[in-house]
Amino acid sequence: MLVSTFTLGDLYLGIDIVLVREINRSMECTPVPGSHDYIRGMLNIRGRVITLFDLKKRLGWSDNELGDGAGIKQYNVIMKTHSEVLKINPRLAETKCPWEDPVGLAVDQLGDVREIVDDNILPPPANMGGISADFVHGVVEFERNLLIILDVATVLGFDERSSG
Amino acid sequence: MEDEARRIAEEIVSEYRRQLESVRFEKDQVKNLVQDAIGKLTDSFNGLRSSSDEQLGLVTGLTSSMQDDDGGEDGSDKKINIRGFVSETDKILKTFVNHIILVSRQSMEMVHRIDDLSSQMAEIVELLNDINAIAEQTNVLSLNARIVAARAGQAGEAFSVVASEVRKLARNSHEFSDRINGVVRNSKKNIESAKGIVEIMASKDMSFAIEAKGRVDEMMAEVSEIDRFTAETIHKVTGVADQISNQVGVAVMSMQFEDMVTQLSESMEKKIHVLENFSQAMDPDILFGDGLTAVDRMQRLEQVLEGQRAGFNAVDRGAVQQSSMDEGDIELF
């Protein structure tokens, strides 16, 4: 499968490219009062209102790990919705893309698009820093880097029960 | 007895003549000695005068070479005197200092130019940042293109290749601008150090040059003073040489007493001649001649005396009456 990669601090993360709708440079967003702290706010991209997740906060990073934050240029990875994925890959839509609302994830640096052989995907190792195993679909050793493939549904708050 | 008296008288006459001859000889000797000495003295004084003139000429030449700055200004006269040397050195030094001040001013100008260059470098860095931003946008664009291609599945594969090529381009241009950035940063560092050097040059050299000019000015003033003193002394020496020349002139003029000596000598010669005649008074014929009475003898002697007197008077009248060389206050020897 093709994986769109990016970095979050020292983490090298990847998302199945079929789930990605587009990538933007970060822009001003409108905060949502009373929401979770990992909800950065609402974005309006070409008329669509998108809920933007702060991925670092969602992964439970402390303020120390978050760093200064200000001045660091970030990117928004906008996800496809369930119905959009359904048109391309119905099986994937059913198993991995339960959400119907347009959402996006704020990440640090953009990487490349990587071709991953499915057999090479390993289960998440124990004692992995910076990210809970719940959010990890699997890991791939890649040029001495460990590429962590995100389980986006879990990240967005859909657990196995609702998706299954 | 008479013969004996006659013999004695003759002896007296011959002795008298012999002595006169001796006087004449000595007189001639005096005359020759004086003539000889005067000749030598005149030569010597003339030599002294010409030496003095020569000395005066030399000193005058020296004075004129030291003071001659009125005529030598037009450059046709290549001779350099001390005053000219001092003013020429002063002129050269002034030019030199002005040059250094000019260089210093230009260095300051250069510092400003370098500042301009520095800010332009900063602009280049900014432009490179813009290029980086474009590269980054291109990168985002290519990623999005890959995403769209992935959606199209098999059909999008060709488009995916184009998208990854675009991404490569973006990465290349990013690298390229990074390299330019590195070069610009180095240039900026070099420019800063050049600016430092030029600043030191601009501030330091001028003070040194002005100090040096002050020192040389002082020395030139001293040289000028020495020169003035020397010129004054030479002027005095010229005056003394003039006096010597005048006095030698007077001395040479005074040598004319030779003429007087010659005249006196001639007069002496005449007197000796007359005295020779005076020996006739002792003529034995008159004193002891036969056939002469005492009265006759007396008369003859009277005649001889008269003739002699007349001769002396004639000589006295022709002789030079001057007894000294006084013409002014000059004393001979």
Burial (CB count within 10 angstroms: exposed 0-12, middle 13-18, buried 19+), residue B110? middle
Tokens standing for residue B319: 């002789």
Predicted confidence at residue A14, as pLDDT, reads 94
pLDDT given at position B287: 72
Q: How many domains does one find in chain A? A: 1
A97 interfaces chain B, CB cutoff of 8 Å? no
H or E segment to which residue A138 belongs:
strand A136-142
pLDDT at A103: 94
The CATH number assigned to the domain holding A99 equals 2.40.50.180
User: Phi and psi at residue B50, in whole multiples of 5°?
Assistant: -70, -35
Q: Is any Cβ of chain B less than 8 angstroms from the Cβ of A27?
A: no
Note whether A32 contacts B: Cβ–Cβ < 8 A.
no
Burial B19-56 (b: 16+ CB within 10 A, else e): ebeeebeebeeebeebeeebeebeeebeebbeebeebb
Question: Quick one: pLDDT at residue B1?
Answer: 72
In three-state secondary structure terms, B299 is: helix
Beta carbons of B139 and A20 less than 8 Å apart? no
Query: Is the ipTM beyond the 0.90 threshold?
Result: no
Angle between helices B157-254 and B82-151 (to 10 degrees): 180
Alpha carbons within 13 A on the beta-carbon side of B321: 1
B150·A110 Cβ contact <8 A: no
Closest CB to B140 among A2, A25, A88: A25
Element (H, E) at B241: helix B157-254
- How many other β-carbons are positioned within 10 Å of the β-carbon of residue B234? 19
Task: In whole angstroms, give the CA distance from residue A36 to residue A40.
Answer: 9
Does A22 contact B151 at a Cβ distance shorter than 8 Å?
no
Residue A70 lies in domain: 2-163
- How much is the pLDDT for B123? 92
Q: Cα(B108)–Cα(B113) distance, rounded to whole angstroms?
A: 9
Nearest chain A residue to B154 by CA distance is A88
Diameter of chain B measured on Cα atoms: 204
**Residue range B228-250, pLDDT digits in tens:** 888 888 888 888 878 887 888 88
Mean pLDDT by 10 residues, chain A (164 residues): 90 93 90 91 93 90 68 86 90 89 92 90 84 88 87 82 40
Q: Contact, A96 vs A153, CB < 8 A?
A: yes
C-beta of residue A24 within 8 angstroms of C-beta of residue A78:
yes
CB contact under 8 A, A23 and B153: no
pLDDT at A163: 40
Separation CA A113–CA B163 (nearest Å): 10
Q: Does A75 touch chain B (CB under 8 A)?
A: yes
Distance from CA of B186 to the nearest CA of A (A): 26
- The whole-angstrom separation of Cα A43 and Cα A27 is 8
Which residues in chain A are contacts of B137 at CB distance < 8 A? 25
pLDDT of residue B67: 57
Contact flag B137-A22 (C-beta cutoff 8 Å): no
Q: For residues B166 and B133, what is the distance between their CA atoms, to the nearest angstrom?
A: 15
Please indicate if any CB of chain B lies within 8 Å of the CB of A113: yes
Q: What is residue A48's predicted lDDT score, i.e. its pLDDT?
A: 93
pLDDT in tens, chain B (333 residues): 778 888 888 888 888 888 888 988 998 888 888 888 888 888 888 888 888 788 778 877 776 666 554 444 444 455 566 777 778 888 888 888 888 888 888 888 888 999 999 899 989 999 999 999 999 999 999 999 999 888 887 888 888 889 989 999 999 999 999 999 999 999 989 999 998 888 887 776 667 777 877 888 888 888 888 888 888 888 888 888 788 878 888 887 777 777 888 888 888 888 888 887 777 666 777 777 777 788 888 888 888 888 888 888 887 776 555 555 554 444 444
Listed residue (A105, A119, A134) closest to A15, CA to CA: A105
Please choose, from the candidates B291, B313, B288, the residue with its C-alpha nearest in 3D space to the C-alpha of residue B301.
Answer: B288
User: Is A17 exposed, middle or buried (CB count within 10 Å of its CB: 0-12, 13-18, 19+)?
Assistant: buried
Q: Per DSSP, what are the bridge partners of residue A146?
A: A141
The separation between CA B333 and the C-alpha centre of its own chain, rounded to angstroms, equals 38
Cβ distance of B150 and A21 shorter than 8 Å: no
